[in-house]
Amino acid sequence: MRDYRITKYNPINRNEHGHFLIDEWTEPEQIGKAFNGVKATKSDFFVIEEKYVLSILEVLKSLSINHLRVVDLDNSYTKWSLSRSDNAWLREDEFLEVEVYEDKSVGLSEIETIIRMNLRHFLSCRLEINNKFSLRFGFDFYMYVLCNELSAEVQDKVHTIGLFVEEIEPMYLMDKCDFYIDVVKKGDEFVDDEILLKKMTRNKIKIGLGLSAEHPGNHSFKITPENSVIFIDEFQFDFDNYEYYLNCDKIYW
């Protein structure tokens, strides 16, 4: 599969190491600040965000994809972030109404909403179909698409919308990952130990959690007494004194 970076950043402004040389806003929290002597406005943000949404809709249309799965969801901070007064300008009614959970199948309208929520830092997730497509969001308003190929035609459409498509070395391989258990003593914030699971597979995760065939089975999650049976042949748990998290090492730089 091939990895594409789709962003507002013109590649002609990168140096030989790929570093972007122009000072631009990279997150909604920077709106209102000046860059190269020009103040970034809320309107600037919404115009660019719309380009990101339209570009992904064009990509999905070109690949005949009309739904995706929510993967590696973190919405633990969503309610808090939506309630902050300084985020009021970023809040939409549908953000309060949409139901998002791991492995949910989302159609195009919900995909649009979830893209906006990712870009506005109201939640974090990937949108994927196992071994077929992945949409990921990085730091600094970077967006990545993993698929078999983006045609020249759809790349031209994205460019017409106003974004830039760059094929990059694959950073993320759906079928390549190592699973670790992070051990945290109750009351602590830091990981005490990290245990490699030599027998764990994506398929075991999917079966154990009852995930769909379209879910890649390579996400991270908290291990509970209820789902710990997946790991019983590799690890003994002490839930009275420790908390446990499955860490899926899946990003390749």
**Are residues 98 and 207 part of one domain?**
no
Give the residue numbers spanning the domain of 208.
178-249
**Is the pLDDT confidence value at 33 over 50?**
yes
- pLDDT bin (cut points 50, 70, 90) of residue 253 is very low
181-196 confidence digits (pLDDT tens): 999 999 998 999 999 9
124 and 193 in one domain? Answer: no
Query: Do both 159 and 190 map to the same domain?
Result: no
Q: Which residues share a beta bridge with 193?
A: 183
The per-residue DSSP string of 3-23 comes to EEEEESS-GGGB-TTS-B-S-
Cα 81 to Cα 83: distance, rounded to the nearest angstrom:
5
Domain count, the chain: 2
Side-chain half-sphere exposure of 142, counting CA atoms within 13 A: 12
> Of 2-6, 21-25, 78-82, 168-172, which gets the smallest average pLDDT?
168-172
**152 CB burial (10 A radius; 0-12, 13-18, 19+):** exposed
Cα distances (Å, whole numbers) of residue 92 to 102, 138, 177: 22, 22, 36
Instruction: Count other Cβ atoms within 10 Å, centred on residue 153.
Output: 9
Shared-domain flag, residues 45 and 115? yes
- Tell me how far CA of residue 106 lies from CA of 101, 136, 180, 214, in angstroms: 10, 15, 29, 12
Query: Within this chain, do residues 102 and 148 fall inside the same structural domain, yes or no?
Result: yes
Asked if 225 and 183 sit in the same domain, the reply is yes
Q: Residues 192-238: pLDDT tens digits?
A: 999 999 999 999 999 999 999 999 999 999 999 999 999 999 999 99
pTM: 0.93
Length of the chain equals 253
Pick the last residue of a domain from 168, 202, 220: 168
**Are 134 and 213 members of one domain?**
no
Among residues 168, 170, 146, 174, which one has the least CA distance to residue 248? 174
Within-domain flag for 173: no
